[in-house]
A and B are shown apart, each in its own frame.
Chain A
Amino acid sequence: MTVTRRDFVRGGVAAFSLGFAAPRFLCDLALAQGAGSRNLVVIYLSGGNDSLSMLAPYTDPFYASRRPTLAVPAGQVLQIGTDSSGIALGLHPRLTGLRTIFNQGQLALIQRTGYQNSSRSHFQGTDIWSTASPNSTQGPGWLGRYLDSIPAPVDPLAAWNTAGQTPHSLQANLVSVPAIPSPSRYAFMSATGVDGPNERAFATRIASHVPVNRPHLAFVNSTAQAAFATLDRVSSVSTYAPSVQYPNNGFALALRAVAGVLSRGIGTRVFWVQTGGYDTHAGQNTLDGTYATLMATLNDGLIAFYNDLRNQGLLSQTLILQFSEFGRRIQENGSFGTDHGAASVMMAIGGQVRGGIYGSAPSLGPDPQNPTLENNGNDVRHQTDFRSVYAKVIDGWLGADSTKILAGDFRGGAPDIL
């Protein structure tokens, strides 16, 4: 991350405040803008996912030789067939739920996604994936730019961030995305009890002003406004009773909240969910330790979410898109872990996803001339530009114009996942 991101200023605060819908119109607006339409759930695996352990080219002889303690053995992968170049691939053994989804034709695995001159920095890498702009990572994120493209007035619950802080991807010029890690804690408390209604009414009024010539104050006011405007609808989600049991961890509970929002149909169409721990420099323990736990969390949360949506007939209007800021080094390090690498795997799941394996796996031979690798044969080279996947989602799912939102035409080479 750079100083510029910290100094990032939302230019359109005044426009936002004026274009912001008054609460009494919100239900109509939500219906018009979102309810019943397609929604996107973006899942960020934070830290740099070791995709060679998630989707293993288990017959490549260099896979085992370069990863003596980390390779998933052929006998243990969940086989899912071969890719376009005939390389056999298998999912991590803990991804049984994902294999079920794969077998139902609703999981797309896009291999070797990334970009040229991949950054090995978490912060720069995340900024690049967030802004879809490898050269200049200032300004709003790609999802933020999509939200900015919705005609005003914009429903303040158009997007829902389940993490505590707003990720760069969701930073927008005109829209302040609410952060709602827990619907039940998203409430306004009173200092006095008896005078609570007046406290809330006047706090709402105070936040409604646009202080003259003080955009930073106006920005904080706009955040408070968005909070007040969304309190009641969010509280309706806190009583959601899902159709399946979700695991009791942050990732699964965030997905449970998303299912609640979709089930209640309150209008949100972009969701952000993240789960961390992927920076496995040491003690990665693919099969029975750290990485296995990561895969278990991912799998168990996703399959619960998938089944919950399926039971309610919501799968066909939902698209789940997973990414991470980079993949990891092919050769395992002396700490039984892996250092920062380059290209990784993206996943898409949903009722309208054309499932399958996209792209071709890297060949892992440590030859500096190996065209599927970079960094002297140490890291996986990208084959599919991640922005072409974004373009597919923007054009083919959200119904917006990817060339405008991504400031360039990345439609060529986009995998046909939808």
Chain B
Amino acid sequence: MASDDPLIQHVLRRAGFGASAAEVEYYSQRGLSRTINELVDFTQIADDVDAKIGTPGYTGTTSNGPFSPSTVINDARQRWLFRMVHSRRPLQEKMALFWHNHFATAYSKVAGNTFSIDATRMMAAKPSEHPAQLRGQLELFRDFALGSFRDLLVEVARDPAMIVWLDGRTNIRTRPQENFAREIMELFTMGVGHFTEADVYAGARVFTGWNLQRVGAVRDYANGYYRFQYNANQHDTAAKEFSFPIYRDGSQTIPARSAAAGMQDGIDFIDALARHPETARRLARRLWSFFVSELRPPEDLVVNRLANIYLQSGYNMAEVVRTLLFSREFLAATSYFSRYAWPVEFVARALKEVGSRGFSLASALNPLLNMGQQLFEPPDVNGWDLGQSWFSTGAMLARMNFAATLTSNQRNNIAQAARGQAPTPEALLSFYLDKLTPAKYDRGAYDDLIGYLQAGQTWTGADAQLAIKAPGLLHLIIGSSEYQFI
């Protein structure tokens, strides 16, 4: 193990989903700077991960009928997990997950208002898999993973899944619908405390007429689909006043406009929100707890530095995240293992570190539900409750039980890898601690791991003993608290 491996592994746990042994070697050879730049400038790496689905040597998938991730939600879930485990652009998937939580949209409501095929398309369709190049919300998040936040906001406001999710279809001139206007200010940009109830009412009027259009017959699932449509007839053309500046000259009023030109209201409003200093600061704080630490808040200095880069770079998230990943605070050893692993991060990392040949991602779906994170199904528009909230007793048992399921499934590979590494219990444990990279065990827990290996029979390291004790040991490590941090 090279001396800078722990740092590279830290970077990959945060800016990715952990690393297999081969990935650690690949990135270690590139060194820290090139690794971070390659993660951020991911468009230089081929986006070839989907082609690997269903091929030998990779994690498996299981579906009822042909694998169809653009139309069957459980297949979409498996494809995304597959990308987390195998993509050569891990930061793109990581940011897609960040945006999925930030603009949290739940499949079930979208499906309840349309149909499961339409809803899956809206959540996850890949343009190349649809005759009209329909792009689902996840692909939007991947395309704008590290792009302009302002452009992403515009796309989200026009996104069919979001329009169904926050009731935009019923936002009409005579009866404005407040749902989206409230959340774009409270959750997507500035945050609570920086706008008034009157702003919510005015914001609702801004987005009147932002609606969907059905192309094709309603039940023609093969060819029909929903797309964004600005419905000028339903737009409220009167002026809208806000408590904060909308324009660079400080003006707080969106002027009255003709219905035909009224879509500009929303663009002006989004520009104002993207430019608002509290949006910059709130994004900086959220990125801090996502990438750097949940155990200590960022210093004002750091928040301001990131906020300035955001504002000066024209809302360029690549530059914000690059700065964060190169920051002293992020690279400090005190930041290692200071983030509670989300369930999907926990699962993807375990698959990478243990190995997953012959393991089907379908067997991770129910465990993830029990751990509290079903992809495309955040509990509400505020996303998942993060940090300590992941760790209810039931969810902790679900993590331990996923560890049991995976290590049981991989027991032959595990035992085989351990062969020749296990003259003593200590040697076997050391071998696996290098592979699995949990946070450091204190003496007591370390002794218990050794105690487990010795329990029941005298240590010989023979194949028959390894066949049981090696998977059992991995179960204990992955199920331990030290493995629940990234």
Please give the residue numbers on chain A whose beta carbons come within 8 Å of chain B beta carbons, in ascending order. Answer: 1-3, 5-10, 120-124, 161, 164-166, 176-181, 185-192, 194-195, 198-199, 201-203, 205-207, 209, 211-212, 216-217, 219-221, 223-224, 226-227, 230, 281-282, 333-337, 339-340, 375
Q: Which 5 residue pairs across A and B have the least CB separation, nearest first? A: A334-B175, A335-B170, A179-B392, A191-B475, A220-B481
Contacts of B385 in A (CB 8 A): 1, 5-6, 165
Please tell me if B131 contacts chain A, counting CB pairs below 8 Å.
Answer: no
Q: Is the CB of B192 within 8 A of A121?
A: yes
Q: Is the CB of A123 within 8 A of B175?
A: no
Of the candidates A122, A179, A190, A340, the one having the most CB atoms from chain B within 10 angstroms of its own CB is: A179
Contacts of A161 in B (CB 8 A): 392
Q: Is the CB of A281 within 8 A of B448?
A: no
Of the candidates A10, A188, A192, the one having the most CB atoms from chain B within 10 angstroms of its own CB is: A192
Please give the distance in Å from A258's CB to the nearest CB on chain B: 15
Indicate which residue in B167, B200, B484 contacts A220 across the interface (CB closer than 8 Å).
B484
Contacts of B397 in A (CB 8 A): 186-188, 227
Q: Is the CB of A335 within 8 A of B411?
A: no
Q: Is the CB of A194 within 8 A of B442?
A: no
Q: Is the CB of A191 within 8 A of B192?
A: no
B interface secondary structure, majority: helix
Q: Which residue of B lies closest to A231 (CB)?
A: B397
Q: How far is the CA of A264 from the CA of B15 in the complex (A)?
A: 48
Q: Which residue of B lies closest to A185 (CB)?
A: B370
Contacts of A177 in B (CB 8 A): 392-393
Total count of chain B residues near the partner, CB < 8 A: 75
Indicate which residue in A123, A187, A191, A230 contacts B474 across the interface (CB closer than 8 Å).
A191
Please give the distance in Å from B372's CB to the nearest CB on chain A: 5
Of the candidates B388, B403, B479, the one having the most CB atoms from chain A within 10 angstroms of its own CB is: B388
Mark interface residues in B453-486 (1 if CB within 8 Å of A CB, else 0).
0011000000000001101101110011110110
Contacts of B411 in A (CB 8 A): 191-192
Contacts of B396 in A (CB 8 A): 220, 223-224, 227
Q: How far is the CA of A219 from the CA of B295 in the complex (A)?
A: 12
Q: Is the CB of B192 within 8 A of A2?
A: yes
Besides the known contacts A6-B387, A191-B474, A203-B476, 19 further A-B residue pairs in the complex with CB atoms under 8 A apart? A3-B289, A177-B393, A178-B394, A187-B397, A190-B404, A191-B403, A192-B408, A192-B468, A192-B475, A202-B455, A202-B476, A217-B481, A227-B397, A281-B167, A281-B170, A334-B171, A334-B174, A334-B177, A340-B178
Q: How far is the CA of A186 from the CA of B392 in the complex (A)?
A: 12
Mark interface residues in B380-396 (1 if CB within 8 Å of A CB, else 0).
11100111111111111
Contacts of B455 in A (CB 8 A): 198, 201-202
Q: How far is the CA of A123 from the CA of B381 in the complex (A)?
A: 10
Please give the distance in Å from A141's CB to the nearest CB on chain B: 12
A interface secondary structure, majority: loop
Q: Is the CB of A6 within 8 A of B386?
A: yes
Q: How far is the CA of A96 from the CA of B219 in the complex (A)?
A: 38
Please tell me if B221 contacts chain A, counting CB pairs below 8 Å.
Answer: no
Contacts of B480 in A (CB 8 A): 203, 206-207
Q: How far is the CA of A211 from the CA of B445 in the complex (A)?
A: 9
Contacts of A220 in B (CB 8 A): 340, 391, 396, 481, 484
Contacts of B482 in A (CB 8 A): 217
Contacts of B191 in A (CB 8 A): 2
Given A6-B387, A219-B388, A227-B393, does the pair A122, B170 have CB atoms closer than 8 Å?
no
Q: How far is the CA of A38 from the CA of B178 in the complex (A)?
A: 43
Please tell me if B56 contacts chain A, counting CB pairs below 8 Å.
Answer: no
Q: Which residue of B lies closest to A227 (CB)?
A: B393
Please tell me if B190 contacts chain A, counting CB pairs below 8 Å.
Answer: no
Q: How far is the CA of A163 from the CA of B447 in the complex (A)?
A: 35
Contacts of A206 in B (CB 8 A): 445, 448-449, 476, 480-481
Mark interface residues in B160-188 (1 if CB within 8 Å of A CB, else 0).
00000001011110111111001000100
Q: Is the CB of A335 within 8 A of B167?
A: yes
Indicate which residue in B176, B178, B289, B476 contacts A199 across the interface (CB closer than 8 Å).
B476
Contacts of B407 in A (CB 8 A): 191
Contacts of B400 in A (CB 8 A): 188-189, 203, 224, 227
Q: How far is the CA of A177 from the CA of B393 in the complex (A)?
A: 7
Q: Is the CB of B388 within 8 A of A10?
A: yes
Indicate which residue in A180, A189, A207, A334 contacts B404 across the interface (CB closer than 8 Å).
A189
Please give the distance in Å from A367's CB to the nearest CB on chain B: 19
Contacts of A164 in B (CB 8 A): 370, 372, 392, 394-395
Please tell me if B439 contacts chain A, counting CB pairs below 8 Å.
Answer: yes
Please tell me if B444 contacts chain A, counting CB pairs below 8 Å.
Answer: yes
Query: What are some 19 contacts across the A-B interface (CB < 8 A)?
Result: A5-B385, A6-B385, A7-B297, A9-B388, A123-B186, A165-B392, A187-B397, A195-B456, A199-B472, A199-B475, A201-B455, A202-B448, A202-B455, A203-B480, A207-B480, A282-B167, A282-B177, A333-B170, A339-B178
Of the candidates B395, B397, B449, B474, the one having the most CB atoms from chain A within 10 angstroms of its own CB is: B397
Q: Is the CB of A205 within 8 A of B394?
A: no
Q: Which residue of B lies closest to A335 (CB)?
A: B170
Q: How far is the CA of A124 from the CA of B191 in the complex (A)?
A: 11
Q: How far is the CA of A5 from the CA of B384 in the complex (A)?
A: 12
Please tell me if B451 contacts chain A, counting CB pairs below 8 Å.
Answer: yes
Q: How far is the CA of A109 from the CA of B294 in the complex (A)?
A: 42
Given A8-B388, A188-B400, A337-B167, does the pair A199, B442 have CB atoms closer than 8 Å?
no
Contacts of A165 in B (CB 8 A): 372, 379, 385, 389-390, 392, 395
Indicate which residue in A120, A199, A333 contacts B175 across the interface (CB closer than 8 Å).
A333
Q: How far is the CA of A336 from the CA of B169 in the complex (A)?
A: 12
Given A191-B471, A205-B448, A375-B197, does the pair A120, B182 have CB atoms closer than 8 Å?
yes
Contacts of A187 in B (CB 8 A): 397, 401
Q: How far is the CA of A379 from the CA of B167 in the complex (A)?
A: 21
Please give the distance in Å from B368's CB to the nearest CB on chain A: 11
Please give the distance in Å from B433's CB to the nearest CB on chain A: 14
Q: How far is the CA of A192 from the CA of B439 in the complex (A)?
A: 24
Q: How far is the CA of A254 from the CA of B153 in the complex (A)?
A: 39
Contacts of A1 in B (CB 8 A): 382, 385
Contacts of B390 in A (CB 8 A): 165
Please give the distance in Å from B387's CB to the nearest CB on chain A: 5
Q: Which residue of B lies closest to A333 (CB)?
A: B175
Of the candidates B192, B340, B394, B395, the one having the most CB atoms from chain A within 10 angstroms of its own CB is: B394
Q: Is the CB of B456 within 8 A of A120?
A: no
Please give the distance in Å from A338's CB to the nearest CB on chain B: 11
Of the candidates A191, A198, A201, the one having the most CB atoms from chain B within 10 angstroms of its own CB is: A191
Q: How far is the CA of A3 from the CA of B190 in the complex (A)?
A: 12
Given A188-B401, A195-B456, A199-B452, does the pair A180, B481 have CB atoms closer than 8 Å?
no
Q: How far is the CA of A407 from the CA of B355 in the complex (A)?
A: 52
Contacts of B235 in A (CB 8 A): none
Please give the distance in Å from A113's CB to the nearest CB on chain B: 21
Please give the distance in Å from B160's CB to the nearest CB on chain A: 16
Please give the distance in Å from A139's CB to the nearest CB on chain B: 13
Contacts of A181 in B (CB 8 A): 394
Please give the distance in Å from B409's CB to the nearest CB on chain A: 9
Indicate which residue in B179, B395, B451 contacts A202 across the interface (CB closer than 8 Å).
B451
Q: How far is the CA of A339 from the CA of B177 in the complex (A)?
A: 8
Please tell me if B285 contacts chain A, counting CB pairs below 8 Å.
Answer: yes
Q: Is the CB of B380 within 8 A of A122?
A: yes
Q: How far is the CA of A203 from the CA of B473 in the complex (A)?
A: 10
Q: How far is the CA of A335 from the CA of B395 in the complex (A)?
A: 38
Please give the distance in Å from A223's CB to the nearest CB on chain B: 5
Q: Is the CB of A192 within 8 A of B405?
A: no
Of the candidates A2, A188, A217, A230, the one having the most CB atoms from chain B within 10 angstroms of its own CB is: A217
Q: Which residue of B lies closest to A220 (CB)?
A: B481
Contacts of B389 in A (CB 8 A): 6, 165-166
